[in-house]
Amino acid sequence: MKTDCDVVVVGLGPAGTLTSLLLSDSSIKVIGIDKEKEIYSLPRAVTIDDEGLRTLQRLNLENIYLENGTAIEGAYFLDDKLQKLSGMDVPANFLTSNGWMPNLMFHQPFTDALLREELLKSSCFIKLETELIEIVPIENYYIVKTLNLTNGKEDSFTAKYVVGADGASSKVRNLMEFDQEDLDYDKNWLVVDVKLKVENTLPTFAAQICDPKRICTYIPAHLPFRRWEFILLEGESKEEMLKETKIQKLISPWLRPNEYEIIRAAVYRFHSLLTTRFKKGNCFVIGDAAHQNPPFMGQGMMSGYRDALNLSWKLISVIINSLPKELLESYEEERKPHSRFVVDGSAAIGKLMSAYAEAIAKGNPSDVPQELVDRGYGSFSLPPLEKGLFYKGYSDSDSMAGSLFPQPLTMEGTMCKERLDSLLGKGFCVVSTEEVELMPYQKKFYKIINANFLVIEKSMLNENPWLNNVMSKNDIYILRPDRHIFGSTSDKITFEDLTEDLRERLSL
């Protein structure tokens, strides 16, 4: 049956907007709905990382964040006297293997407004002030029933796929009857955003302040904004914490009341929750609808962006390139374990703050569990995807399957002259340092999946240490459309082995 659209996206916050833009960029017909008419006017997310900027680069939208963001000089755990306990420095001009700075602090109302402009200019059909009522599965499509909140009229349309990006209280998740798993962090925190009235003299690093009297977080948001997060102590009420005099007292070590304007103060329950399923039939959940974590890693929005890219390229491959629908099963297989790591890691940072505070109170700041220290800033990095559409089905350190391939760059000293992800194309890509000779059946297969072939020149390897390091390990890499490595050749794995395995996994 011909449906009204290919994909309906429910919820048009950052994750839903990115999904819609990625899909429409490949000529997929998208209907996007949101209960609200306007974007949320206050900041919630404040951090985008190198992987997020690389994703936005696919759409030439990275400047939305670059022009409204500020790089930080590090992230640390501090004691009650604001002395460093542990953490990491971020050198100026440092670029990760993704070709961008590790983190950028932004002001969400600015960036969301610009993303909304791009969404409204796109080919997506956008229905604002529209509430989801029901999702009715009918054979191989869905009837999506909605309510127009301006006139009270009900409407319905048909879609092949439904993506729930509708936040922590997701209606899509509830309609699909997905349960949530509690990952053992559940505390009340006061979040305060301020706008500076004076020239900034505050640090440009993020800090988890492990004061035995009250742990708190300081975030150097994009100027002129700053954020603090304070844990509520036993017996403290939401009403008490939201009093202006209370907030002023909490911020007094940093600023006097006449030096700032409070633009948001709210008490939140910081949860660690993971939805038990990310997919049912052809209905998916992404972002906060799928996972919620404390903000200590700054990875809430980024987990949603990773969901968006992972799901989008698979939907594009199925809808546009006619790859088998079984490919979509790997969305949950890949994203759920990775999301669990982020949720667990965020909770671990909160637990490390409390452990440091307890140790400081006892006079021995170093007396904290090593397993918590190992989850702190600078002690770990996000892992590869564990299993899914990779050679033999799993990540592998030798072949680098499951890891992100470095972005090709041209450099001038330590400065990036040009980012060249576009050389990899939008689909699968075979990367090598010498031309790959294909057998007839391989030519046919790679044409079917619309693969690109890229031979990396020595001059680029000499300029790019990340790329040079990867290409010195193995000769040929097969990349997925999301830049994750499917697998690579070695003394044990031939290009024919890789091709056959990929062909079998795509059922071609």
Percentage, residues of the chain above pLDDT 70:
99
Q: Does the reported pTM lie above 0.85?
A: yes
- Please check the confidence at residue 498 and state whether its pLDDT lies above 60: yes
Q: How far apart are CA 132 and CA 172, in angstroms?
A: 8
Burial profile 204-234: b = 16 or more Cβ within 10 angstroms, e = fewer = ebbbbbbbeeebbbbbbbbeebbbbbbbbee
Class of domain 5-65+106-180+273-328: alpha beta
Q: Helices (DSSP H) in 186-321: which residue ranges?
A: 238-241, 244-251, 300-319
> What average pLDDT does the segment 273-284 reach?
96
- Please check the confidence at residue 379 and state whether its pLDDT lies above 60: no
- Please check the confidence at residue 481 and state whether its pLDDT lies above 60: yes
- What distance lies between CA 119 and its chain's CA centroid? 19
Amino acid at 423: L
Amino acid at 153: K
Thinking of the domain 391-505, which architecture would CATH place it in?
3-Layer(aba) Sandwich (3.40)
Listed in order, the ranges of the chain carrying CATH 3.50.50.60 are 5-65+106-180+273-328
- Please check the confidence at residue 345 and state whether its pLDDT lies above 90: no
Q: Which of 352, 356, 351, 380 is nearest to 367 (CA)?
A: 356
pLDDT bin (cut points 50, 70, 90) of residue 33 is very high
Q: Which residue has the higher pLDDT, 140 or 369?
A: 140
Say what the pLDDT of residue 93 is. 87
Q: How far apart are CA 196 and CA 70, in angstroms?
A: 15
Of the listed ranges 194-198, 319-323, 377-381, the least confidently predicted one is 377-381
Query: How far apart, in Å, are the Cα atoms of 473 and each of 41, 63, 284, 430, 488?
Result: 48, 33, 37, 15, 9
Say what the pLDDT of residue 221 is. 94
Say what the pLDDT of residue 350 is. 86
pLDDT bin (cut points 50, 70, 90) of residue 347 is confident
Q: How far apart are CA 310 and CA 390, in angstroms?
A: 13
Q: How do residues 349-365 score in pLDDT, each as one tens digit?
A: 888 999 999 999 999 98
The token pair at 480 is 């997925």
Based on the number of CB atoms within 10 Å of its own CB, is 28 exposed (0-12), middle (13-18) or buried (19 or more)? buried
Listed in order, the ranges of the chain carrying CATH 3.40.30 are 391-505
* Cβ contact 202:254 at 8 Å: yes
Q: From its phi and psi, is residue 295 left (phi > 0), alpha (psi between -120 and 50) or beta?
A: alpha
> What average pLDDT does the segment 459-488 reach?
95
Q: Indicate the DSSP class of residue 387.
A: B
Q: Where are the extended beta strands (E) located within 241-396? A: 260-275, 279-280, 283-285, 291-292
Q: How do residues 158-182 score in pLDDT, each as one tens digit?
A: 999 999 999 999 999 999 999 999 8
Say what the pLDDT of residue 381 is. 76
- Please check the confidence at residue 153 and state whether its pLDDT lies above 90: yes
- Please check the confidence at residue 48 and state whether its pLDDT lies above 70: yes
- Please check the confidence at residue 442 and state whether its pLDDT lies above 70: yes
Say what the pLDDT of residue 74 is. 92
Q: How do residues 383-408 score in pLDDT, each as one tens digit?
A: 999 999 999 999 999 999 999 999 99
Q: Indicate the DSSP class of residue 408.
A: P
Could you give the angle at the alpha carbon of 250 between the alpha carbons of 247 and 253, nearest 5°? Answer: 130
- Please check the confidence at residue 423 and state whether its pLDDT lies above 90: yes
Q: How do residues 302-338 score in pLDDT, each as one tens digit?
A: 999 999 999 999 999 999 999 999 999 999 999 999 9
> What is the number of alpha carbons within 13 Å of residue 157 lying toward its C-beta?
22
